[in-house]
Chain A
Amino acid sequence: MNTFFLVIGIGMCLLVLFCLFRVTYGPTILNRAVGISAVGTKTLIILLIIGVIHHRVEMFVDISMVYALLNFIGCLVLAKYLERTGEV
């Protein structure tokens, strides 16, 4: 079972690289914002998988919930900033 989660975690890490590509070379600022958000969501899943592998999932659930919350608020603040500066 551990190998299964390890493979899924490594696959998620590879997917993060694809999102990171979009963040670096994204044509518009919206692509970058969505890319950052997707990286945050994948990080959350990777944290949970690390928790399952180490048999301490109840600790990592706390961290991943905070991560989801900060990701949501960060995305909202970024949208507000772009609205104010009028780049979108």
Chain B
Amino acid sequence: MIRESDDVIVKTVARLLMPFITIYALYVVMHGHYSPGGGFQGGVILAAGFILLVVTQGIAPIRKRMSEKIAVIISSIGLSIYAGIGALCLILGGGYLDYGILSRILSVDRAEARSLGILGVEIGVALGVMAVMCTIFFAIFTLDEKNDRRNE
């Protein structure tokens, strides 16, 4: 069980840093086309902010916002966005993840449809990676909790 940190400096710095970490993660996701980063890296930064909160504020208040169940649901949503955009291209007559064909329903030209398609896929990947990282983190950090319950 992770207790709340008893140091006021660490707690305050983590609270102040959290919004900037989230904004930065969104920047990395949005600018994945033409700078280092993308869906996976943005998701990892989002999950890092979450881990920072768990380590400093204790696991109990964070679980109300992000439990294991919600993490599974969010990862499924992310995977569905990714696979859904790919399948949509397939339905419209292109190849799998051939974003150019999305211009038929988005009413923009092919290049812009390609850019928007990549952005959508990256958002899906970011959601999935964030939720899976949180699941792994929960699974590791609540291991002793489960062992205690088994021993009782």
A positions within 8 Å CB-CB of B: 58-59, 62-63, 65-66, 69-70, 73, 76-77, 80
A74 CA to B10 CA, complexed, in Å: 13
B87 on the interface (CB 8 Å rule)?
Answer: no
Q: Is the interface of B mostly helix, strand, loop or mixed?
A: helix
Q: Specify which chain A residues have a CB less than 8 angstroms from the CB of B28 in the assembled complex.
A: 62, 66
B35 on the interface (CB 8 Å rule)?
Answer: yes
Q: Specify which chain A residues have a CB less than 8 angstroms from the CB of B21 in the assembled complex.
A: 69
Q: Specify which chain A residues have a CB less than 8 angstroms from the CB of B36 in the assembled complex.
A: 59, 62-63
CB distance from A20 to the nearest CB of B (A): 24
- 10 new A-B contacts, CB < 8 A, other than A62-B28, A66-B28, A76-B56, are A58-B35, A59-B35, A62-B35, A62-B36, A65-B24, A73-B51, A76-B10, A77-B51, A77-B55, A80-B55
B positions within 8 Å CB-CB of A: 2, 5, 10, 14, 21, 24, 28, 35-37, 41, 45, 48, 51-52, 55-56
Can you list 10 contacts pairing A with B, beta carbon distance less than 8 Å?
A: A58-B35, A62-B35, A62-B36, A62-B37, A69-B48, A73-B52, A73-B55, A76-B52, A80-B2, A80-B55
Residue of chain B at shortest CB distance from A80: B55
| B41 near A76: Cβ-Cβ < 8 Å | no
| B41 near A66: Cβ-Cβ < 8 Å | yes
CB distance from B37 to the nearest CB of A (A): 6
A77 CA to B56 CA, complexed, in Å: 9
Q: Specify which chain A residues have a CB less than 8 angstroms from the CB of B51 in the assembled complex.
A: 73, 77
Residue of chain A at shortest CB distance from B27: A62
CB distance from A41 to the nearest CB of B (A): 17
A31 CA to B32 CA, complexed, in Å: 38
Q: Specify which chain A residues have a CB less than 8 angstroms from the CB of B37 in the assembled complex.
A: 62
A46 CA to B90 CA, complexed, in Å: 45
A61 CA to B14 CA, complexed, in Å: 22
CB distance from B113 to the nearest CB of A (A): 26
Q: Specify which chain B residues have a CB less than 8 angstroms from the CB of A63 in the assembled complex.
A: 36
Residue of chain B at shortest CB distance from A70: B48
